[in-house]
Amino acid sequence: MSDSIRFILNGKLVEVADLPPTTTLLQYLRLEARLTGTKEGCAEGDCGACTVAVGKLVKGKVEYQSMNACILFLPTLDGREVVTVEHLKSATGAPTPVQQAMVKCHGSQCGFCTPGFVMALSTMVNNKQNASEDDIQDAIAGNLCRCTGYRPIVDAARMANESAERALPSHPKELASIQRNRLMTYDVAGGKYFSPASVEDLAMVLSVYPDATILAGGTDVGLWVTKFHMGLPVIIYTGNVVELRQIRESRVLLEIGAAVTYTEAFDALAAFDPSMEDLLKRFSSLHIRNAGTVGGNIANGSPIGDGPPPLIALGAKVVLRSKSGTRMVEMEDFFIAYKKQDRKAGEFVEKLVIPKRPDNVLFRVYKLSKRFDQDISAVCGAFALTIEDDEIVAARIAFGGMAGTPHRAHKAERALVGRVWNEEAVEKAMAALDDDYQPMSDARASAEYRSTTARNLLKRFYIETTDPTTKTRLYRYAE
Amino acid sequence: MPNDAKKIDGGMGAPKAHDSAHLHVSGEATYTDDVLESHGCLHAYVLKSPHAHAKITKIDISDCYVPGVHAVMMAKDIPGVNDAAPVFPGDPIFADGVVLYYGQCILGVAAESIEIARAAVKRAVVTYETLPAILNVHDAIKAQKFVGDPYEMGQGDAAGAIAKAKNKIKGSLDIGGQDHFYLEGQIAMATPLENGEFHCWSSTQHPSEVQHLIAKMLNLHDHAVTVEVRRMGGGFGGKESQASLIACVASALAWKTNRPVKFRLDRDDDMIMTGKRHDLNVAYEVGFNDEGLIEGIEYIHAVNCGMSPDLSNAIADRAMFHADNVYYLGNAKVTSYRCFTNKVSNTAFRGFGGPQGMLAMEYVIDDIARHLGKDPQDVRKINLYDAKGELGDRCTTHYGMTVEDNIIRDIFSQLEHTGEYAARREAIKTFNAQNKILKKGIALTPVKFGISFTLTMLNQAGALVHVYKDGTVQLNHGGTEMGQGLHTKVCQVVADMFQIDFDKVRITATNTSKVPNTSATAASSGADLNGKAAEAAARTIRDRLADFAASHFDTEISAVKFAAGYVHAGSHTVSFKELVQLAYAARVQLSSTGFYKTPKIAWDRPKGKGRPFYYFAYGAAITEVIIDTLTGEYNILRADILHDAGQSLNPAIDIGQVEGGYVQGVGWLTSEELWWNDKGELKTHAPSTYKIPTGRDVPKDFRTVLFEGINPEETIYRSKAVGEPPLMLGISAFLALRDAVAATGAANCIPPLQAPATPENVLKAIQAVQK
């Protein structure tokens, strides 16, 4: 017996019982609900023309986040509240402050990206009092505009920010009535979809369908459907598994459940180092961080994911679970080869365990890409040196974008251990990096650029940890 | 209610919001994909070539007819002409025997859903015999493969002057292309009607051409096809000629199935299947004196046109027209090769070749300054065109046009002052001396952009104005709205003519059955041409109303005045609406067409001499950047823009064009890198890999001002065209990056920075000057 998908769309309860589970929210909005204000600009979560607000019931209140409707599978909205641009209205029926500000500031030209910006800013205004300039840029980092040059949109954000009216409409009571807290089974002609509520259920379903696609935030899996037009006959969604949604912290360890989103894990991860916070900001747009999970970023095994390099350098471990129990592997060992991970049939990533950084560990992570926001790394490098009595006693260096998997630079590490952290040591290690990695050339960067900058990032690490007066960073640069 | 206000709302010069702004923000603005589909509407998908160059040896479509598929079409099924080319032939709708680029359309399927259409296309079996492909301009020149004849412009003896000059520089600059990345991808929806007629919604800048090409393809006359567009989600030139292919595929399948057919390209297909800004290589040699005064210059433009002429010849011409930017070249020769390559046919993109020509000129100026150890601004100033008659003949371009309206000196002096150029230059020197990893750079670059289609014939426009009995006005003209605010401006013109409020004038979708034989909305000419045509139509009606009022109220026609919603006729005053009702009752015609053609222009292409442009639009920008010399990454810290829009029809819209143009120009020259592999496959075909600027890439300190001026030519409201010129203000960011790179090398070093200045290219240039 199949459950139906139930969610609140623009204030009304919607039930879907026949669409394939890979139907995206955007397809549903445009083709089924005929709400055409939400646009398709890229179908990969990179342009924001499809931005909507997705609300979750938290302690009796609806908490909204901006998300890309183009890569959200419809069943993942079960038990959620969705607001699209058509539903924005002030209490008086007039346009909302965000809409009015966008008109007043001339924030639209062709208008195609505008509903997405309006939703991104409406969610920001709903969630934040006194958003800072950085908050504004963050809120729209996932929205592309090709006409205005953004200045008037940022002006509109500031203007709307000053308004007292800030709530997105919400229906907590109705939403409460459609929460399941149990395994959801959506089984239709177009495919099977399971959304377990506990790790036991997840392990059980996965043991029955060991070849199922495990879906977390969908920021990668979504593209398998929208870009590669793959069929996904069986999907198991981890986003409602209570145990996978937890962050636990002790004095020495940080544990992040595999289905915790980057937005939820932001503060805990940023606490490792200011450079980690910079990375998380550049990691992806806010809309993607609101959906994408820490576990998914690891489990999909991408050679260019930005999670693995810093986590490997910090000595993180991956906890895998199946019906027959759990096991723990070093994250660096989890990545076996290009797109091949140490995950057996029936296993799923349960959580990541990250040791806290002792004071004597120098740590930095740096990302390089053509564009600051919402770009995939050409190179991502992370460095952790343990120093005792001026001597390097341990070194962990990991890079993404330099090989088929993110992995450690053992030769460079060996060149450092036992030495004093000085210019000679760093130069030896820089040279050794060339033996550690033979990167390739592609659309993001040439092999030469990757090799050169990998060395230079190590140099930057050296400069920043030995000569803090030297300015090395553009992002934190202030006159 | 009598109106005491002296002015109407939204007349000419008012900073009126975009006429669709309230629809944009509420999601109600209808784009082609939002038009309600009729019952039975089918969806099209096409098979794209997997090779850059190959012979098609066999096409087997027998497996394509899965349930839900209504038609499969290929070249042989086209009843008329299988070509969607704008001017010169060469853009097959479906490949005929040979494919000339990766992504070329081979066959099309119409099915009940896009999923079925895609699945059906996958089932087609096509065999190819691959052929050698030409993938860059150098190979094209070697093979002498061109899409148009090489062309030359110039004056005097360039080679002789260079040979005699005390200083010479020889150099080469690679300039990358640019994808339009309009947020709304290409789309059309065609519907068959009675009597062999077709209606097509098309996201196009050129409805008349789409109409004509559909007719030609289906063996129909133009009168059987109506093309309509309310608005595009961005165009930027990408929908000038290349919307036709999409509309033709939809219409062909609609013809075949006798059903409505929608063809919408997703982002990847759009980027793979449609052309881009031309990438090109400019080789140059310049001779100059110790002050930096140019004595002779030679340019060779090798323009990558792709596999067909499309609009490339006109684009390559414009690159040559702007090879001078704002400088008097004296002895000059510009040679242009229109190279054939096995790539998608490159096409119009905001600036239409101008940006490439201009960038090379500014690069040369920068070279000269670095060679002589001077501030580039000093070299710029001594090379400027003189105001007419000021100093000998230093106001004639290399194509024989006299620059009559030069205001760049005024723009320079104002911008240098407000932009604190000299002080910031000094501060940067200090900063660079104190910082070893981060370096700053600054550049001030000017723009002079010629306004008119260089094919004189295209400089015409029509409009249709109806006044209804309730005193409201409906307006139509040949221009299309792609976000640039054209409709808003033209509404303002008509509101002003009738002296009624802006909201009394409504513009409707551009439609080939209302205004025929229109030119593309391109060349920045939209408001100039259509504003004048609408003004003419409104004037005809207003004159009729004035005549009527004079006779009705028994006064002189000179005593009839239209002002702020009212019409004064001698001692009588009535509202506009009342007058219209009286006029209707007296059987006065309340509808009129209007027509405009640009005066003064004449271009003799075979001779390479004449006046191709009615006037020039000017502007300048200062950009300051900071770079990270370890990685090549950078930020734009501040930009100051002073731009000439004449007497602005709408300063709010014009500022939007200026800022948006600047940012788009910066994107072209910085993060927007198109990357093909060695098989000719484009690998940057979505925003995940192709990076246009985001909010954080915009200068934190961004100051844009419109130059206070008036167009000396009699344009609408004495305004100037503003669509394209500001794009080239982005050149200042590129040269600021080059300036910062130079700070990492020896004095007088000339960084070989290539465009786009991705972090990788910046780092490469740093490494080159540090060698």
Identify whether the C-beta of residue A107 lies closer than 8 Å to the C-beta of residue A152.
Answer: yes
Q: Which of B624, B672, B713, B724 is catalytic?
A: B724
Q: How confident is the model at residue B388 (pLDDT cuts 50, 70, 90)?
A: low
B719 touches chain A (CB under 8 A): no
Q: What's the rounded Cα separation, in Å, for the pair A474 and A355?
A: 29
Q: What is the ipTM of this complex?
A: 0.97
Average pLDDT on B323-344 reads 97
| The total number of residues written for chain A in this structure | 479
Nearest by CB: B437 against A107, A471, A475: A471
3-state secondary structure of B418: helix
Encode pLDDT of B13-68 as tens digits.
999 999 999 999 999 999 999 999 999 999 999 999 999 999 999 999 999 999 99
Encode pLDDT of B207-252 as tens digits.
999 999 999 999 999 999 999 999 999 999 999 999 999 999 999 9
Identify whether the C-beta of residue B729 lies closer than 8 Å to the C-beta of residue B661.
Answer: yes
Q: What's the rounded Cα separation, in Å, for the pair A59 and A74?
A: 24
Measured CA to CA in angstroms, residue A38 lies from A116, B26, B233 at distances of: 7, 10, 13
* A398 contacts: CB under 8 Å, gap ≥ 6: A308, A309, A310, A312, A313, A332, A381, A382, A406, A407, A408, A409
Query: With contacts defined as CB-CB under 8 Å, which chain A residues touch B271?
Result: none
Average pLDDT on A360-368 reads 96
| B26·A472 Cβ contact <8 A | no
* A162 contacts: CB under 8 Å, gap ≥ 6: none
Query: With contacts defined as CB-CB under 8 Å, which chain A residues touch B691?
Result: 369-371, 375
Q: Other C-beta atoms within 10 Å of B116: how many?
A: 20
Average pLDDT on B473-487 reads 97
Q: How far is B715 from chain A (nearest CA, A)?
A: 24
In this model, does residue B2 exceed pLDDT 60? Answer: no
Average pLDDT on B428-454 reads 97
Average pLDDT on A319-340 reads 94
Q: What's the rounded Cα separation, in Å, for the pair B532 and B626?
A: 45
Closest CA to A383 of A398, A403, A367: A398
Bridge partners of residue B175, in order along the sequence: B280
Encode pLDDT of B136-179 as tens digits.
999 999 999 999 999 999 999 999 999 999 999 999 999 999 99
B228 touches chain A (CB under 8 A): no
Provide the b/e sequence for B438-456 (b: ≥16 CB within 10 Å): bbbbbbbbbbbbbbbbbbb
Q: What's the rounded Cα separation, in Å, for the pair A248 and A89?
A: 40
| B233·A150 Cβ contact <8 A | no
Radius of gyration, CA atoms only, chain B? 27
Closest CA to B668 of B235, B233, B282, B176: B176
Closest CA to B134 of B345, B344, B346, B343: B343
Closest CA to B29 of B545, B482, B538, B526: B482
* A305 contacts: CB under 8 Å, gap ≥ 6: A297, A298, A400, A406
In this model, does residue B305 exceed pLDDT 70? Answer: yes
This prediction has a pTM of 0.97
Query: With contacts defined as CB-CB under 8 Å, which chain B residues touch A44?
Result: 267, 686-688
Structure token digits, residue A351: 């959580």
Mutation target to probe the B interface, by most B beta carbons within 10 A, among A24, A71, A106 is A106
Closest CA to A85 of B22, B203, B231: B22
Average pLDDT on A294-302 reads 91
B435 touches chain A (CB under 8 A): yes
In this model, does residue B683 exceed pLDDT 80? Answer: yes
Closest CA to B395 of B334, B327, B320: B327
Cβ pairs A/B, distance under 8 A = 259
Query: With contacts defined as CB-CB under 8 Å, which chain A residues touch B181?
Result: 144, 146
* B15 contacts: CB under 8 Å, gap ≥ 6: B650, B651, B652, B653
Structure token digits, residue A105: 């500031």
3-state secondary structure of B209: helix
Place of tokens 């040369």: B364
Q: What's the rounded Cα separation, in Å, for the pair B239 and B187?
A: 10
B400 touches chain A (CB under 8 A): no
Average pLDDT on A37-62 reads 97
Q: What's the rounded Cα separation, in Å, for the pair B325 and B678?
A: 35
Identify the burial level of B132 via C-beta atoms within 10 angstroms of its C-beta, where 0-12 means exposed, 13-18 middle and 19 or more buried: exposed
In this model, does residue A475 exceed pLDDT 80? Answer: no
Query: With contacts defined as CB-CB under 8 Å, which chain A residues touch B204?
Result: none
Identify whether the C-beta of residue A135 lies closer than 8 Å to the C-beta of residue A154.
Answer: no
Average pLDDT on B590-615 reads 96
Place of tokens 């160059």: B53
| B438·A118 Cβ contact <8 A | no
Q: What's the rounded Cα separation, in Å, for the pair B182 and B713?
A: 33
Average pLDDT on A158-169 reads 85
Phi, psi values for residue A169, rounded to 5°: -60, 145
B33 touches chain A (CB under 8 A): yes
Mutation target to probe the A interface, by most A beta carbons within 10 A, among B203, B630, B727 is B630
Residue type, A151: R
Q: What's the mean per-residue pLDDT of chain B?
A: 96
Sheet holding B473-477, edge to edge: B505-507, B473-477, B460-467, B591-597
| B231·A111 Cβ contact <8 A | yes
In this model, does residue B259 exceed pLDDT 60? Answer: yes
Q: How far is B125 from chain A (nearest CA, A)?
A: 19
| B767·A109 Cβ contact <8 A | no
Q: What's the mean per-residue pLDDT of chain A?
A: 95
Nearest by CB: A47 against B183, B436, B653: B183
In this model, does residue A271 exceed pLDDT 80? Answer: yes
Task: Work out whether strand B634-643 and strand B701-706 pair parallel, antiparallel, or are unpaired.
Answer: parallel
Q: What is the pLDDT of residue A339?
A: 83
Residue of chain B minimizing CA distance to A51: B27
| B656·A35 Cβ contact <8 A | no
Structure token digits, residue B1: 């209610």
Q: What's the rounded Cα separation, in Å, for the pair B460 and B478?
A: 10
Residue of chain B minimizing CA distance to A461: B630
| B25·A141 Cβ contact <8 A | no
Give just the sign of the alpha carbon dihedral B519, B523, B524, B525.
negative
| B675·A443 Cβ contact <8 A | yes
Place of tokens 């029936």: A346
Q: What is the pLDDT of residue B1?
A: 39
| A112·B30 Cβ contact <8 A | no
List, in sequence order, the alpha helices (H) in B573-718.
Answer: 576-585, 651-669
Q: What's the rounded Cα separation, in Å, for the pair B330 and B333?
A: 10
Task: Work out whether strand A213-215 and strand A234-237 pair parallel, antiparallel, or are unpaired.
Answer: parallel
In this model, does residue A476 exceed pLDDT 80? Answer: no
Bridge partners of residue B237, in order along the sequence: none
Place of tokens 């007497």: B647
Residue of chain B minimizing CA distance to A367: B631
Q: What is the pLDDT of residue A477?
A: 45
Residue type, B656: G
In this model, does residue A14 exceed pLDDT 90? Answer: yes
By percentage, how much of chain B surpasses pLDDT 90? 97
List, in sequence order, the alpha helices (H) in B373-522.
Answer: 376-383, 408-418, 421-434, 486-498
Q: How confident is the model at residue B767 (pLDDT cuts 50, 70, 90)?
A: very high
Query: With contacts defined as CB-CB under 8 Å, which chain A residues touch B236?
Result: 146
Mutation target to probe the A interface, by most A beta carbons within 10 A, among B694, B704, B767 is B694
Average pLDDT on B498-520 reads 97
Q: What is the pLDDT of residue B685?
A: 97
Structure token digits, residue B312: 């490339």
B724 carries an active-site annotation: yes
3-state secondary structure of B615: strand
Average pLDDT on A374-394 reads 96
B436 touches chain A (CB under 8 A): yes
Identify whether the C-beta of residue B255 lies closer than 8 Å to the C-beta of residue B180.
Answer: no
Q: What's the rounded Cα separation, in Å, for the pair B492 and A102?
A: 21
Measured CA to CA in angstroms, residue B667 lies from A219, B238, B729, B730 at distances of: 26, 16, 11, 8
In this model, does residue B582 exceed pLDDT 90? Answer: yes
Mutation target to probe the A interface, by most A beta carbons within 10 A, among B18, B20, B26 is B26
Bridge partners of residue B706, in order along the sequence: B643
Structure token digits, residue B266: 């997703």
In this model, does residue A478 exceed pLDDT 60? Answer: no
Reduced 3-state DSSP string for chain A? CCCCEEEEECCEEEEECCCCCCCEHHHHHHHHCCCCCCCCCCCCCCCCCCEEEEEEEECCEEEEEEEEHHHCEHHHHCCCEEECHHHCCCCCCCCCHHHHHHHHCCCCCCCCCHHHHHHHHHHHHHHCCCCCHHHHHHHCCCCCCCCCCCHHHHHHHHHHHCCCCCCCCCCHHHHHHCCCCCCEEEEECCEEEEECCCHHHHHHHHHHCCCCEEECCCCCHHHHHHCCCCCCCEEEECCCCHHHHCEEECCCEEEEECCCEHHHHHHHHHCCCHHHHHHHHHHCCHHHHHHCEHHHHHHCCCCCCCCHHHHHHCCCEEEEEECCEEEEEEHHHHEEECCEECCCCCCEEEEEEEECCCCCEEEEEEEECCCCCCCCCCEEEEEEEEEECCEEEEEEEEEECCCCCCEECHHHHHHHCCCECCHHHHHHHHHHHHHHCCCCCCCCCCHHHHHHHHHHHHHHHHHHHHCCCCCCCCCCCCC
